[in-house]
Amino acid sequence: MRKIFWVTGFFLLVCLSVFFLHLSTNTEEFSRYNMQWNGTSQFFGSRAAMDATEIRQTSDLAERDASFLLIIAPGRPFDTQESRDLHDFLTHGNVIFLADETGAGNTLLEGLDSEIRVFPANLTSVERQYGDHSSVIAHASSPDPLNSGFTGLVLNSPSYVKGGTPVFVTSLLTWTDDNGNGRIDETEGLGRYTVLSREYIGEGTLYVLSDPSVFINGMQDASRENSVFLGRLAGHDNPGLLIEQDHSSTAKADALVLAIINMKRSKFMMTVLFILVGAGASLYAWKRYTEVS
């Protein structure tokens, strides 16, 4: 009987741990804490992303060299000081990769004195990966380390960009489906659209991708090229991978989730928590044992 109660206590400890893990997740689109198809937990769970430095404020970029900064799905505009910090970072020989489909990043592009702009749209193509017309395939254009050897990059309802040098473009069988009916109407002409563009500013390089969905869990295995592409972004032949977590939607979480995440980051708090949980489970098992005895 004593063994049964100790097993019961251990089982309770496991259940509490699983419950604690469940509370530290959410369903916010692009969130790094979302393990569903529209979250980015897989990307942030990769070794490269886990080893990256998180940037919580743009002033932390000062004096950084040979760095590659990812800004994924910005949820709000950049103010003047933030744009100035990022401009200094870029012109000193670093790389900024902005993935934005809503146009929220255009304030940053203006502050960087860039010619590139994001145009929100429902880009649709006859050339697609799946039956869904939004699974647009983009092809390599001008030679670049990010598109070398690619046959096609699978996107998910992308917008498009103008300006800069095209790195990935759609086929000519592509249009902006303004009414969302999935068909080419009289006012919706076919054409080639740029989805990833590059621009050299100062000594740095700016990339703008009009589809942050390449980072979500559901697109990780859309094609081998998608996985290779993310690997190049995470590695990019330099040791200084930075991930912006102030504007980015990948940092989205409610107050409870953030409190639990911060607790998990603290070794001291985690140690105290597991001691308390373990003590509680042991006390429960001992109480049950003495009651039976």
Q: Which pLDDT does position 209 carry in this prediction? A: 98
Residues 198 and 186 placed together within one structural domain of the fold: yes
Residues 90 and 155 placed together within one structural domain of the fold: yes
Q: Which pLDDT does position 187 carry in this prediction? A: 79
Cβ pair 282, 11 in contact under 8 A: no
Q: Which pLDDT does position 238 carry in this prediction? A: 53
Residues 152 and 7 placed together within one structural domain of the fold: no
CA distance 268 to 271: 5
Question: Hey, what are 141's tokens?
Answer: 């254009």
Residues 9 and 136 placed together within one structural domain of the fold: no
Residues 133 and 218 placed together within one structural domain of the fold: yes
Segment 242-272, tens digit of pLDDT: 999 999 999 886 554 544 555 554 454 455 5
- Note whether residue 121 is domain-resident: yes
Q: Which pLDDT does position 278 carry in this prediction? A: 58
Q: What residues of the chain score a pLDDT lower than 50?
A: 1, 5-6, 15, 18-24, 256, 258-259, 265-266, 268-269
Q: Which pLDDT does position 128 carry in this prediction? A: 86
Q: Which pLDDT does position 24 carry in this prediction? A: 45
Q: What residues have CB less than 8 Å from 11, skipping those under 6 apart? A: none
Nearest residue to 100 via CA among 92, 88, 112:
112
Residues 117 and 186 placed together within one structural domain of the fold: yes
Q: Which pLDDT does position 23 carry in this prediction? A: 45
* Angle between helical axes of 255-265 and 267-292 (0-180°, round to 10): 100
Structural domain boundaries enclosing 235: 41-251
Residues 239 and 265 placed together within one structural domain of the fold: no
Cβ pair 5, 289 in contact under 8 A: yes
Residues 56 and 142 placed together within one structural domain of the fold: yes
CATH number of the domain within which 152 lies: 3.40.50
Segment 41-72, tens digit of pLDDT: 999 988 778 889 999 999 999 989 989 999 99
